[in-house]
Structure 1
């Protein structure tokens, strides 16, 4: 599970190209499914349009980066009609007042908790303001994700939870069909490194790679081997090797 604040601001890294594709600026929420369908990625240049990464194309979300298989997964907003429709609905949740089914205003939402494997919103963090009451509103108590308001069950305050362990099983379950994706999201940077090692094998080294002690790890013109990759990792030169190869 990830908070919105833990996702926004992270760089998106492509596994195949070993490239940063820009930082996440916002989440695109689908109010009908109660899920994050896309991540908004900053434009390549300030004068260009923003781009999108579909949650289904996210390989993993870690503390330092979000990974996706290839840079082609990040696409222009204008190429995604479904995303444009959601953007026009402008569902933010964070900052919205909370209203019960019978029309009582009860505090505001200051965070959302997202299942990084499915994109589902597992809970909204609610705060009552001056009286200090707060807690997680499980998704099953949310009736409507509105543009300007979150509508919840009348008895939501009596069913708040204080941490993820208290959420309903459905909100934290790990479906079997998500096993591969789960492994990636549990340790996305390791997943990224493993994929990149596979990608490097057979590529041509474009400059000599030396250890800090001056020992040769790879010579210009050689093709990358598994042994070469292992030596680069051991010498903390894996990134340098990665950035200095060609097909």
Structure 2
């Protein structure tokens, strides 16, 4: 029979041989290597606890745990293996569940234990999305257990073939870097290193601050997911000065984001706002382009494939004169943004069905031919319609409505700290649930507003990823 971890707490522990009450269950000691409960922590009096190896448990009932003998309850110092596990203090409840494809599924709210063997069978997960109900995942999918994160094998519902492998470069900035070996946050992506000659993502700038910047080669990223970058070990993050090739590229600060687009014939035609990157190969697939004159339609930016890009530099993107013949409305290419998946389809199915549509992969070769949005159906250039011209000050279009993208470029590569980057998307938001330290100390309550002080404190304890997944 499977029991919840909470079902054990408070049960009396009875010694069968002596027919005596030993104490009551206070906690469980988990062995992350075997995936089981190794022992029960038993309150024997007001000032002392003992441990009972789970191998001594004869049965678990509604009111009591029956063990072979009261002598099976020993001081933790008398059981070296259990003392070692107690020192590790594996606490599954409260850990963030992260798949090996970089998807954050939610927070562990409890787990189920086979009462006969002590084996942990399932994890109960509280999803990050309020509209989704709690769900369970098999415990045998656990790959690594850390202090605040557990990494699991990606469920079938999140198979890599169904998840877009493209993302906008701006979506990668701010991602937490998680070490697979330690199941711990070891850094944050603060900037990208772009190789403009080969049109590829070469690496990442990590943890910008007062000291020498750190870097990581793109090849060190085993997975670039929508919620985290997974690497084998923290040793992959090194001082930028120790990586001459990356340092040379970083000094050029090539990004093409918020830079002008100019045709070969010398005509300024708009602004490049972002890059579309293949998260597996690192190749740049296309450019997000806002034309100087916005054509009629619901979109505010276009996808410019690399076939129209002649040269990509620090200050300019040179495009072909016939660029307008191959641009695609960005709204028609939803795979450019990293998809956030709903909880996987696991038990109970009716509570966790994935209703979110899957975005198709988008590569340059898969961009379907479209009618040139810059040309009217008559074949004449759009001139008679009142065009929406981006204002020189970058604060309004010609029709008085604010633009979706700033007309003025901003320097995304200025040295800013990771705290500043976090403020951009967390400051002012409200917590959905109580935030605790591993010790159990509460540092914020549900409904509290995220402040700079709270951000600084969670960063001190490597809980920034947990915070970002628990705000409105």
> Where do residues 84-123 of structure 1 align in structure 2 (5 Å cutoff)?
84-123=247-286
Greater mean alpha carbon deviation, residues 162-171 or residues 68-77:
162-171
Higher RCO, Cα 8 Å, sep 6+: 1
In structure 2, the partner of 1:230 is none
| Cα drift, residue 106 of structure 1 | 0.5
In structure 2, the partner of 1:200 is none
Q: Structure 1 residue runs of 4+, over 6 Å off?
A: none
3-state SS of paired residue (2:287): strand
User: Is residue 236 of structure 2 the alignment partner of residue 40 of structure 1?
Assistant: no
Q: Structure 1, residues 46-95: CA drift from partner, whole Å, max 9, x if none?
A: 43211111111111112211101111111110001111111221112110
The match for 2:224 among 37, 61, 70 is 61
> Where do residues 124-163 of structure 1 align in structure 2 (5 Å cutoff)?
124-132=287-295, 134-162=301-329, 163=333
User: Is residue 211 of structure 2 the alignment partner of residue 15 of structure 1?
Assistant: no
| Cα drift, residue 130 of structure 1 | 4.9
Distance 2:221 2:288 in 1: 24
Distance 2:191 2:307 in 1: 24
Gaps of 5+ in 2: 1-165, 336-360, 368-472
| Cα drift, residue 169 of structure 1 | 2.5
Q: Structure 1, residues 79-132: CA drift from partner, whole Å, max 9, x if none?
A: 011111112211121100001111111000111110001111101010014535
The match for 1:168 among 364, 369, 374 is 364
Contact 2:263 2:269 in 1 (8 A): yes
Distance 2:362 2:276 in 1: 13
Q: Give the TM-score taking structure 1 as reference length.
A: 0.64
| Cα drift, residue 134 of structure 1 | 3.0
Contact 1:28 1:40 in 2 (8 A): yes
Gaps of 5+ in 1: 172-247
RMSD over aligned Cα atoms: 1.9
Distance 2:264 2:366 in 1: 23
Q: Give the TM-score taking structure 2 as reference length.
A: 0.34
Distance 1:12 1:2 in 2: 16
In structure 2, the partner of 1:31 is 196
3-state SS of paired residue (2:197): coil
| Cα drift, residue 168 of structure 1 | 2.8
Aligned length: 169
| Cα drift, residue 170 of structure 1 | 8.0
